Amino acid sequence: VHHRSSSAFASAVEMSLRRMLVPARDALARRGRFLSSTSHVGFASEGSNGARESAEKDATSSSPSGSATTSFGYKDVLAEEKEGMVREVFEKVAPSYDLMNDLMSAGVHRLWKDYLVSKVGVFPGMTHLDVAGGTGDVAFRVLRALRAEEAAARRAAGGGKPRSDPSSAGRVIVSDINPAMLREGEKRAAKHGLSRSTDVRGNPLATLEFVEGNAERLPFEDNSVDTYTIAFGLRNVTDTLAALKDARRVLRPGGRFFCLEFSKVTQEPLKSMYEMYSLNVIPAMGDLVARDRDSYQYLVESIRRFPKQEKLAAMMLEAGFVDVSHENLTGGIVALHSGFKLEE
């Protein structure tokens, strides 16, 4: 009985959300875009100091005892406690994470991620890092695009003849702080045949790697990756500014950072509908479908506490990125932020 009621509830929720979002999804299919606005911040300058200082103040705060605190949903917790609390949340949701993403967004999250990957600009031999990549949704898209690009380059260069040098192939790295999420990603990669290192003709394929790591102190060398993505993960880190600075550290000069994250809705009446849906329906859906209301209550609350589009852009400048910009997708439900690392 419980399974039947859960299924009926999920179906009703999906139908409701589709009525709200599918028209926008169809517009994307027609126009190839899902954007309502684009904003460029540009290069760091004296004029942006005030915004950067404000952003840095919001990144961390202090408790009356002097200990650093940060947000965990609507709660303020000690900074050293948040990592473990977030890890526990994603250990619980890992088995149902992909299903819930589809239900919560009526599948629209796939289009947001497709758009993100279309901006990455893959090229043969590149190294791409997807942080908080968990089950591999973004990384798999990058990997497929990279392998297709490398296959096209081989055909153009030599008719597709086999080459044995594995160094000619690129790398896609999935990094996540949670081993349970990485295990789900590895299972999905094997299921979809993405773990192979060579194609049927013996050509080396761009590799896929899973590495446990904290976004604030990644286990990668300086100047070691060409592009960096983080999708729906930045709001879960303890220190946002520290994660942005470490993203810049691992990027090579000229490399580009992308952050796809839930943001602040800019359009009415979408804003009111989205507020009602996210605060009331998503936690209930988590309870009935994933058997975990609390984790999805946290995820919804974490969206409310995350910096607005302009504030996150200011934090990116503070971290050292240049040519910073953001695009609002679906009326600001999600924003795609990007910035470059210049020559050092």
pLDDT of res. 151? 92
Indicate the pairing of strand 171-176 with strand 322-329.
unpaired
Residue 287 CB coordination number (10 Å): 17
Mean pLDDT, rounded, for 313-342: 97
Q: How confident is the model at residue 60 (pLDDT cuts 50, 70, 90)?
A: low
Mean pLDDT, rounded, for 213-229: 98
pLDDT at 63 over 60: no
Instruction: Give me the CATH number covering residue 23.
Output: 3.40.50.150
Burial of 218 (0-12, 13-18, 19+ CB in 10 A): buried
Structure tokens at 54: 């404000």
Q: Domain residues for 284?
A: 2-340
Name the least confident of 61-70, 174-183, 320-329: 61-70
Query: In terms of pLDDT, which residue wins out, 91 or 14?
Result: 91
pLDDT of res. 33? 44
Task: For 112, list phi and psi in degrees, rounded to 5.
Answer: -60, -45
Winning range, highest mean pLDDT, from 76-85, 160-169, 196-205, 211-220: 211-220
Q: How confident is the model at residue 97 (pLDDT cuts 50, 70, 90)?
A: confident
Q: Per-residue pLDDT tens for 20-39?
A: 445 444 544 444 444 445 77
Q: How confident is the model at residue 91 (pLDDT cuts 50, 70, 90)?
A: confident
Per the structure, how many domains does the chain have?
Answer: 1
